Structure 1
């Protein structure tokens, strides 16, 4: 008889794991507390506009290809990808921006025009980043974080100094232009930490950026979720939405015997949680929790976010599909996230206008805009603060891009710290999980397999390998592989 595995949550990691386990012959049931599947990668629709609620960047396409190839499929079997060119735009001041092209040779020219000689340094930097990418993303990140020896390979040993230097030191060694420095330090923000705290080895994110490019699935990131759900269902996975898991029941052998879903006990052989790790452990008796409240409070978390989903009644000018506003001091903003948690006085922010690329996001002649301000997890969140910061970024958008947009706003919807807690049971309302700093890498992250409950496993951004969509796909594979190895 097939073993039953219950999965809590339906984000990228849960969906990936569900496919692998079903393919291996498990009877897989997924329970999602919200009304739609996808976890943080759900959709919001209003008045003919569509928004990706969560992730908007499609990087590292090879990770998606590898996932689907494991099932003899391709991404193109489910959705159409378009490589963005330009990839994105970065504003540094009024009418002062750099547009990053969609290919590496053109990027070298952009760098050289900004700082003479910088293209040679960039070429060397990207070669190092590509080598690190091939080591990290094609091998090391697929390891389960069970032992520090997983990080010890001939390739990592010759690069050991990169683990004890930082991205910031590496970038600033040869590049002097502050604009180019900010562009090169930006990708590690996807890892949820400051460049000054991120090991230099993680420059592989710069290869992901410049080398592999920025892509857009037509219809948005939710098309990837729909593709994974379709694949999972074809493998026999069963999904239940509006399913709140309120308790994990343990037998006298310290093994999961079942879960309570909407006040109903459901028996299961194995449990895999793709929900917030901290929240999942609160569903257990105190003595079976691996990590204390003090442990979680002392972790370095990636930021939370204040997000706005905005419908405009006209097309916007002087912006690209992805536009970054780095016209204020990054270090000051980062301090308000990581060092002295508070609302930033002059926030950096990011805007996505997918309707520039994809007509499905907005009615003809209109624009869909998603705005994001990184914030410290756990800070005060109120409607008044949200509105104050919306005015700040809209004023900046108008000033920096030289256009009036306020009168063209049809509607706005916000999503912030308290929503992350309410919608996803997110610890302190974090948006991206645990930051990938040296002391929270690989075996130093919370365990994939519980050390106290025999048949309880975890997946997602609070365990290995870390935050981001591609790492979440990888986390689902790691968790499923460990389950299959444990119960072979």
Structure 2
């Protein structure tokens, strides 16, 4: 008889865990509160034909995503067309702009134009970044991180100094480049990790390799094509998806999950994997069974929340790329507003994505699909007045770049999404958008544990546990947790016994040792 798994949530880590667990022979049921898979990566279509990806838009580390499909005998190309963007993105400064080319040789030439000898320095930087990327992907990122003993190996010890774990990223970049624009350009990738470059270990220069060297890509039809592809893979292995299903309570007995209350009904399972928000999942348990207290969560450094606008523009716009970063203002000032002052930024940075420049299917003819994102502190209040204030700020700067007048009057579709929406839709702690920041004190073993310490058959996966935030790490997280299932030993008691658990009827009792 196959063991029955409940998987809470169908974000990237949930779909990954579902696919791997089903492949291992488990009966997997995925429960999603929304009417579609994807979690933060959902997609919606308007009446006029605008197609908006709601969350992730940067397709980096394509090798990690390809490895997922390869594990099941597929290729990404079996499901969608992946195109390489050129330029990868454009970064706007107050005195100019930089377009990051697809070709690495062209990137070196660009660096040399901005700083004498910077192309050779880029080679040195990327050689070290490639080494970190390879070591991290082979020896670090796939570990469950129960103990530091997992990292005790001659290979890791030999590599330790080259990984620059104790050097902060900003100081590390400054050793290579003097030009302020190049420094900001090289610091940008680690912003995805949720903290200031001053507080991120230089190990994460691997992000520069995973982005700039391996390229920035886009799946035609939108990022949601990756969601649909992963769902198909999980279903091909036997996983079943259930939508519009909310988990209301996790019942336990003698150190084991016995059942879940789903939409008011009790359902029994042998194992539970929570891909939902870690903090929220633990509110579904009795207080004494939580891994972490409220004090613990308040002490963590979270990656930002954000203000997002989905805009349908009823004419074509010139001078804007697929990805554009508006960095005219001071990066540290914006980061301090997020991490230190916990307030709306006075001089914000923001990001614009215009996928209709690459993909005509995401907007009506002669129209543009624009996604605006501004990072924010978690836990702050947001209302319509504040949202509109910052929309106007972003639109003004977009008009300046594109030399477009009266852009507000050309918006025929508008939807905003902010801190309170992340809480409402995803039960996200503080309304965070990306999980925990990858600071040194929140790395590897120091992250929230992948397994409940008091309940033997409850596991966690996703951006609040190992290996960390981002789409590729979330996919890896699902693989890690599925492999942890194989460490469980089962003992079947074939006798029908009446247990003390009021939520169990006369049935076969499975003991987890």
TM-score (norm 1): 0.98
Task: Give the alignment of 1:239-250 within 5 angstroms.
Answer: 239-250=241-252
Partner of 1:332: 333
More displaced stretch, 70-79 vs 469-478: 70-79
1:156, distance to aligned residue in structure 2 (A): 4.0
CA distance in 2, matches of 1:349, 1:155: 41
Secondary structure (helix, strand or coil) at the match of 1:204 reads helix
Match of 1:236 in 2: 238
2:111 — aligned with what? 111
Q: Do the aligned residues in 1 keep the contact of 2:305 with 2:376 (CA within 8 Å)?
A: yes
Q: How is 1:434-449 mapped onto 2 (pairs within 5 angstroms)? A: 434-449=436-451
In the aligned structure 2, how far is the partner of 1:142 from the partner of 1:463?
A: 12
Separation (CA, whole Å) in 2 of partners of 1:50 and 1:328: 31
Identify the residue that residue 397 of structure 2 maps to in structure 1: 396
Cα deviation for residue 339 of structure 1 reads 1.1
Summarize the alignment of residues 87-236 of structure 1 with structure 2, pairs less than 5 Å apart: 87-93=88-94, 96-157=96-157, 158-160=159-161, 162-236=164-238
On the 8 A contact 1:338/1:376 being kept in 2, the answer is yes
Q: Find the aligned partners of 1:286 and 1:250 in 2 and give their Cα distance.
A: 12
Please identify runs of 4+ aligned residues in structure 1 that moved more than 3 A. 151-161
CA distance in 1: counterparts of 2:433 and 2:62, whole angstroms? 22
The alignment partner of 1:137 has SS state of: helix
Deviation for aligned residue 1:118 = 1.0
CA distance in 2, matches of 1:487, 1:76: 38
Quick check: 1:28 aligned with 2:31? no
1:429 match: 431
| 1:346-361 correspondence runs (5 A) | 346-361=347-362
| Structure 2 SS opposite 1:443 | helix
TM value normalised by structure 2: 0.93
Match of 1:466 in 2: 468
Following the alignment from structure 1 to structure 2, what is the Cα–Cα distance between the partners of residues 44 and 371? 16
**Corresponding residue of 1:56:** 57
**Distance change >3 Å, CA 100–CA 153, structure 1 → 2:** farther
Check whether the contact 1:103–1:210 (CA below 8 A) recurs between aligned residues.
no
Structure 2 spans left out of the alignment, 5+ residues: 491-513
- Give yes or no for contact 2:320–2:401 (8 Å, CA) kept in 1: no
Does structure 2 conserve the Cα–Cα contact (< 8 Å) formed by 1:41 and 1:225? yes
Cα drift, residue 150 of structure 1:
2.8
Could you say if the C-alpha distance between residues 152 and 314 of structure 1 is closer, same or farther in structure 2, counting changes exceeding 3 Å? farther
User: Which has the higher Rg, Structure 1 or Structure 2?
Assistant: 2
SS, match of residue 108 in structure 1:
helix
Alpha-carbon distance change, 393 to 155 in structure 1, aligned in 2, over 3 angstroms: farther
- Retained in 1: the 8 A contact 2:139–2:156? no
Could you list the runs of 5+ residues in structure 1 that have no partner in the other structure?
Answer: none
Tell me whether 1:374 sits opposite 2:375 in the alignment.
yes
- The 3 A distance-change label for structure 1 pair 329 and 156 is farther
